[in-house]
Amino acid sequence: MAAAFSSDSDSGRAESNEASSKWLDAHYDPMANIHTFSACLALADLHGDGEYKLVVGDLGPGGQQPHLKVLKGPAVLSESPLPALPAAAVTFLMEQHEPRTPALALASGPCVYVYKNLRPYFKFSLPQLPPNPLEQDLWNQAKEVSDVGDENKEDRIDPLTLKEMLEGIREKAEVPLSVQSLRFLQLELSEMEAFVNQHKSKSIKRQTVITTMTTLKKNLADEDAVSCLVLGTESKELLVLDPEAFTILAKMSLPSVPVFLEVSGQFDVEFRLAAACRNGNIYMLRRDSKRPKYCIELSAQPVGLVRVHKVLVVGSNQDSLHGFTHKGKRLWTVQMPAAILTMNLLEQCSRGLQAVMAGLANGEVRIYHDKALLNVIRTPDAVTSLCFGRYGREDNTLIMTTRGGGLIIKILKRTAVFAEGAGEAGPPPAQAVKLNVPRKTRLYVDQTLREREAGTAMHRAFQADLYLLRLRAARAYVQALESSLSPVSATAREPLKLHAVVQGLGPTFKLTLHLQNTSTARPILGLLVCFLYNEVLYALPQAFFKVPLLVPGLSYPLETFVESLSDKGISDIIKVLVLREGQSAPLLSAHINMPMSEGLAAA
């Protein structure tokens, strides 16, 4: 009887959890034999029939048998072997012609394999790198041990000497060895002779491999616009490929090998590219930059990179999520209860929601919007890859693969709404804090009664004071324009802009005036700059000088030095006037509040 009661209570608890969950369990197969990571999962309508398929770059058990698998629902639709382990899989539109079916790009080794309608369409290979000349000379001098009677045996070397010299090159040379030399160094002494006989006459080829791949819109931001492929390589480079000819449109260099990429914008207009690298840094690149513009230094190695609107969310191997701006400012940090295994973006288009999914080593999948926890999904095994989007004919489908090769498919309920803090159990900690509300005094009650009785008169008095304030502000603005007291010229004939910067601690300050001609096409000539100041407090080497020709659009720095003469810590205002030759009224002016001289004060 007790056992039956326990079984009934467990089933009731499972039913209540299912009812309160935001997800429907569509499929779970612990023996699906899918071993991959998030970069090798993609969802697309490969045949243009409205039925979205799942593309998987499968590493195989132990990374021994890589395959390209296409799933329709829970079943495998097609499967084909790959020559090397996959690095990434993406779908993209190559052209505007009908029917507009997306192509599949799979990065594997040094090549990108492009499929259309699940048939091989094109193979792009990375350009070869120049080999180490010392390594090439060594292989040219290699000889068979049996060729004792060779006339040029003085110029030849045996395999053992070749191995010693290659090891010396590997330790000291900046250019890494080729794959042929690295394989040779791993061989036993008995196997070296046959390897040298097979490869000694061949030229050395140094080939890099692809580490990561993503897509970038070509010239339109539409969802069905043509996209370019962006490749990250082991040679610390980023390549942008043309979607039709598969030629290299742009090449950018990085200080380290990229492992994660995030791109926004269009290639022909403007784009931002974030690359997380193996040295623990994230580099930001723009359209016209060949090298990184900004750098985000992390305290640990990145394990994932996702862009949510204008925020870069980075997962580190210190079990934490970090939010950064594109200029490297850290916005927030969230600590995870376990190690982060994988990350991906959750985008619910119907509600305009973008969030980050993080698969943890304790079998949880956590969904965050900024640093607010939205939902927690618990799985039977640790999740190693995540993918969210349209699958089959369902718009919001979550696909997960586990460490043991299992496949989990969940569908988001149409009535589900993600609320901040919904994933945490219990009330927030701030709810238990009592507010120190003051008691109502007699003065408070009297003022409340007064506002009720004379509310109309008080509102009229407030409106009268507000109109008077606006009138005084308008008069002061007109007076500033008429006397040229503003740092921006109000006349269309002399469109100027003045900005002043004071540097230094004292007693000598550096005063820099930034004068800019804001017109579109007309240069300005014949301007003067004059300084008005208290000669008892300050001294300038030149209080009046001419301004050179001002080209439109450029900011001209005009530098001078100001020396503080007072030892009492007194500061004053220095007036800067910009004049036209032959005119007494200034074109514009600026009042500079000089800082107190800390050098004299300390003395």
Whole-number pLDDT of residue 490: 57
Q: Is the pTM of this model over 0.95?
A: no
| pLDDT of residue 297 exceeding 50 | yes
pLDDT digits (tens, 9 = 90+) for 522-572: 888 888 888 888 888 888 888 888 888 888 888 888 888 988 888 777 888
pLDDT digits (tens, 9 = 90+) for 100-115: 788 899 998 888 999 8
| pLDDT of residue 416 exceeding 90 | no
Domains and CATH numbers, the chain: 133-143+156-200 (no CATH), 488-593 (2.60.40.10)
Whole-number pLDDT of residue 75: 86
Whole-number pLDDT of residue 598: 77
Please tell me which residue, 24 or 598, carries the higher pLDDT value. Answer: 24
pLDDT digits (tens, 9 = 90+) for 117-136: 888 888 888 888 877 777 77
Confidence of residue 599 (pLDDT cuts 50, 70, 90): low
Whole-number pLDDT of residue 401: 92
Whole-number pLDDT of residue 483: 64
Whole-number pLDDT of residue 169: 75
Confidence of residue 181 (pLDDT cuts 50, 70, 90): confident
Other CB atoms within 10 A of residue 533 CB:
18
Confidence of residue 10 (pLDDT cuts 50, 70, 90): very low
Please tell me which residue, 279 or 196, carries the higher pLDDT value. Answer: 279
pLDDT digits (tens, 9 = 90+) for 434-455: 778 788 888 888 898 998 899 8
Confidence of residue 473 (pLDDT cuts 50, 70, 90): very high
pLDDT digits (tens, 9 = 90+) for 365-411: 999 988 888 889 999 999 999 999 888 888 889 999 998 889 999 99
* Greatest mean pLDDT among 17-26, 414-423, 501-510: 501-510
Half-sphere exposure of 114 (CA within 13 A, CB side): 18
Whole-number pLDDT of residue 399: 92
Segment 174-201 shows an average pLDDT of 76
Residue 358: name the closest of 304, 298, 422 by CA. 304
% of the chain beyond a pLDDT of 90: 16
H-only helix segments in 393-454: 442-453
Whole-number pLDDT of residue 427: 53
| pLDDT of residue 14 exceeding 50 | no
Identify the bridge partners of residue 229 per DSSP, sorted by sequence position: 215, 241
Exposure string for 63-88, b = 16+ CB within 10 A, e = fewer: eeebbbbbbbeeebeeeeebeebbbb
Whole-number pLDDT of residue 149: 46
Please tell me which residue, 211 or 371, carries the higher pLDDT value. Answer: 211
pLDDT digits (tens, 9 = 90+) for 314-359: 999 888 999 998 888 888 888 899 999 999 999 888 888 889 999 9
| Cβ-based neighbours of 304, under 8 Å, separated by 6 or more | 38, 260, 314, 315, 340, 342, 343, 344, 358
In order, the DSSP letters of 459-474 are: HHHHHHHHHHHHHHHH
Exposure string for 134-155, b = 16+ CB within 10 A, e = fewer: ebeebbebbbeeeeeeeeeeee
